[in-house]
């Protein structure tokens, strides 16, 4: 049995079974659980052979914490079906991480080849499904009109660019090895495959990444500087000590430069009624959910519903995610889950940097450089696009990290242990785990009443979203019939105010419940308190402004609703809607509001 599980082909079989499991959850979710059980068979065989079921890595405890918060987030989600699929995609991502970590050195080339195949397949899919006609150009229009017709959903270009770039980087090791080998009579076929594949990937890069040439240029220059510094590590102990710090500093500079360029860019939605739709605006709005759901998270796959319902206050989807990988994780899985994931990524970069300067002449040096580059791309690009924690892409969440482990953790043939890790790494992990915990204690522990209030507010917000968003989107406003379904949430939110009367989350949501009951005086009182705590919260501004309208206080309402571009159009609809609800008085006030509000502004 030991001879079987220590074989390189057993490790490859493990990897292929995990890939099949992830594909099943993407394509045929109802059979996904059975494929996941099959993917766990190698774990069982390792255990029966007297080994650990999985390859130990430096981040096992952080992975376990991340998985635990994902399970809690499944419980917290308002849509259990979507959340269940996303949870199993996260499990698939973890299985992929350990399957990649367990690959011996002999399999590096083949795994790199699989990465090339993925980049090629994704590039081909993009070229067959994306509407190039909108981008202009004769060739783009010709290709859109003459390419083979496939009825597949298109993938957003930003998502494709990140996935293809990461995969192509990791595929370079196979390309480099292939170029140094002779294949005899098969050489022509292999060279043709390489040329076509590299040409397809390069075409996608040109189409998608051409507008980001400044950031790419800075990245290339920075990597060259880091490479030059690493060449001195063999003879200079100080260089070895500071090199990981230089890498993290380079990461900070690259993120800053990239964010300054992209922060004001318009995102996927082309509508303008709800703001500028810039990354900076979306980031500022979404960050309020970190206050609403700090402990449990909002729930897996919950961002689209809570963003529309509690920030835009509209009954339909608008954004599917926050366009920020790390913010999305923290929103849906809470502060602990978000911190665990961020720590894993930063620690992996630190560890890859240490591996590079540990022995620059090592045969795995190129692999470690490619892993570091892929991790840097994941970090930087993940701040602007969320393709690794959104939809089917969730299964690839730990793909770059798992590939990095192949160059860091050497799986010996006995399988009983892993290569000894430097003593500094456990201390680093301990510090990275301790610091967020201390921050939470400082933020909540200074005032125990506020900590308890945050817990009740978090729980009440979950109860409210689970009841209110059960069938979201409904594409119509909720009526007073919804109020009785929110009684449990109301009781929990009231408990939050007993410990902290100024709690923003509790006051805002209690105001929304009072609005459903058409008790606008009570609603205004709660919303005014919430507004004092968060004067830029769009949902609070809009709800308080509407409450003032229904109370007949048009001067206060106009001050707030001038900041809500869609208010005038919605008030026109309310003229009709309140008539159908038997409230002609509120219909009349909506008419007055329409006449007082200025023209729509973008």
pLDDT at 205: 52
Q: Model's pTM, two decimal places?
A: 0.88
**Omega cis (within 30) before 128:** no
Residue at which a domain ends, from 440, 466, 485: 440
Say if residue 75's pLDDT is above 50. yes
601 part of a folded domain: no
Which is more confidently placed, 195 or 279? 279
336 part of a folded domain: yes
Q: What is the pLDDT of residues 427-460, one digit of tens each?
A: 555 555 565 566 656 655 567 888 899 999 999 9
Are 303 and 213 in the same domain? yes
Say if residue 182's pLDDT is above 60. no
Are 74 and 18 in the same domain? yes
pLDDT at 230: 61
Return the sign of the alpha-carbon dihedral for residues 405, 407, 409, 414. positive
Q: What is the pLDDT of residues 361-382, one digit of tens each?
A: 666 788 888 888 899 889 988 8
Say if residue 585's pLDDT is above 70. yes
417 part of a folded domain: yes
Are 462 and 370 in the same domain? no
Range of the domain at 500: 442-596
Mean pLDDT of the chain: 82
Are 507 and 492 in the same domain? yes
Say if residue 417's pLDDT is above 50. no
Which is more confidently placed, 72 or 152? 72
pLDDT at 294: 93
421 DSSP 8-state letter: P
Lowest mean pLDDT among 46-55, 184-193, 368-377: 184-193
Instruction: From 568, 564, 567, select the one nearest 538 (Cα to Cα).
Output: 564
Average pLDDT over residues 305-313: 94
Are 319 and 452 in the same domain? no
Task: Report residue 414 as tokens.
Answer: 């006995």
Q: What is the pLDDT of residues 207-235, one digit of tens each?
A: 555 445 445 555 555 665 666 666 655 55
Return the sign of the alpha-carbon dihedral for residues 201, 386, 375, 222. positive
Non-local (6+) Cβ contacts of 306 within 8 A are 78, 289, 298, 465, 469
Give the containing element (helix H, strand E) for 26.
helix 8-27
Are 373 and 509 in the same domain? no
Rg, Å, the chain Cα set: 27
Q: What is the CATH number of the domain that holds 505?
A: 1.25.40.10
Number of domains in the chain: 2
What is the rounded CA–CA span in Å between residue 254 and residue 146?
A: 40
Are 250 and 380 in the same domain? yes
Which is more confidently placed, 124 or 88? 88
For residue 173, what pLDDT band results from cuts at 50, 70 and 90? confident
């Amino acid at each position: 049995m030991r001879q079987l599980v220590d074989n390189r082909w057993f490790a490859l079989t493990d990897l292929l079974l995990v890939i099949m499991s992830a594909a099943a959850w993407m394509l045929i979710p109802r059979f996904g659980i059975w494929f996941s059980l099959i993917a766990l068979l190698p774990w069982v065989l390792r255990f029966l052979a007297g080994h650990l079921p999985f390859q130990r890595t430096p981040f096992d405890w952080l992975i376990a914490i991340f998985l635990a918060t994902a399970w809690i987030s499944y419980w917290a989600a308002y849509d259990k079906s979507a959340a269940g699929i996303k949870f199993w995609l996260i499990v698939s991502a973890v299985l992929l991480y350990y399957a990649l970590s367990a690959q011996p050195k002999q399999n590096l080339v083949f795994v790199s080849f699989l990465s090339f195949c993925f980049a090629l397949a994704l590039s081909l899919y993009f070229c067959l499904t994306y509407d190039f006609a909108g981008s202009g150009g004769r060739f783009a229009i010709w290709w859109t009109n003459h390419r083979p017709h496939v009825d597949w959903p298109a993938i957003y270009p930003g998502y494709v660019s990140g996935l293809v770039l990461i995969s192509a980087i990791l595929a370079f090791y196979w390309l480099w090895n292939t170029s140094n080998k002779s294949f005899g009579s098969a050489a022509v076929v292999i060279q043709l495959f390489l040329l076509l594949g590299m040409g397809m990937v390069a075409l996608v890069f040109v189409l998608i990444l051409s507008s980001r040439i400044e950031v790419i240029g800075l990245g290339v220059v920075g990597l060259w500087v880091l490479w030059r510094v690493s060449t001195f590590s063999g003879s200079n102990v100080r260089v070895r000590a500071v090199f990981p710090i230089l890498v993290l500093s380079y990461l900070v500079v690259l993120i800053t430069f990239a964010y300054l360029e992209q922060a004001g860019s318009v995102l996927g939605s082309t509508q303008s009624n709800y703001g500028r739709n810039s990354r900076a605006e979306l980031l500022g709005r979404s960050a309020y959910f970190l206050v609403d759901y700090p402990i449990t998270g909002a729930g897996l796959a919950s961002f689209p519903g809570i963003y529309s319902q509690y920030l835009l206050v509209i009954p339909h989807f608008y954004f599917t995610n926050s366009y920020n990988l790390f913010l999305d994780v923290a929103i849906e899985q809470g502060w602990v889950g978000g911190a665990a994931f961020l720590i894993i990524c930063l620690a992996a970069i630190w560890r890859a940097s240490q591996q590079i300067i540990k022995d620059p002449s090592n045969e795995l040096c190129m692999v470690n450089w490619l892993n570091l580059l892929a991790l840097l791309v994941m970090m930087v690009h993940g701040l602007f696009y969320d393709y690794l924690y959104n939809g089917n892409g969730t299964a690839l969440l730990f793909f770059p990290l798992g590939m990095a482990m192949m160059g860091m953790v050497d799986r010996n043939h006995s399988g009983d242990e892993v290569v000894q890790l430097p003593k500094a790494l456990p201390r680093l992990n301990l510090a990275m785990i301790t610091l967020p915990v201390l921050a939470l204690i400082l933020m909540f522990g200074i005032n125990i009443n506020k900590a308890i209030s945050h817990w009740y507010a978090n729980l009440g917000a979950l109860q409210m979203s689970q009841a209110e968003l059960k069938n979201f989107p409904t594409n119509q406003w909720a009526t007073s019939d919804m109020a009785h379904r929110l009684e449990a949430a109301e009781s929990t939110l009231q408990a939050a105010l007993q410990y902290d009367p100024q709690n923003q989350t509790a006051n805002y949501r209690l105001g929304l419940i009072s609005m459903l009951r058409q008790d606008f005086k009570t609603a205004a009182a709660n919303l005014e308190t919430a507004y004092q705590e968060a004067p830029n919260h769009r949902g609070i501004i809009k709800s308080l402004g509407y409450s003032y309208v229904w109370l007949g206080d048009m001067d206060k309402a106009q001050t707030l609703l001038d900041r809500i571009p869609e208010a005038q159009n919605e008030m026109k609809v309310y003229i009709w809607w309140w008539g159908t609800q038997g409230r002609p008085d509120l219909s009349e006030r909506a008419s007055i509001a329409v006449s007082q509000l200025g023209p729509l502004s973008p």
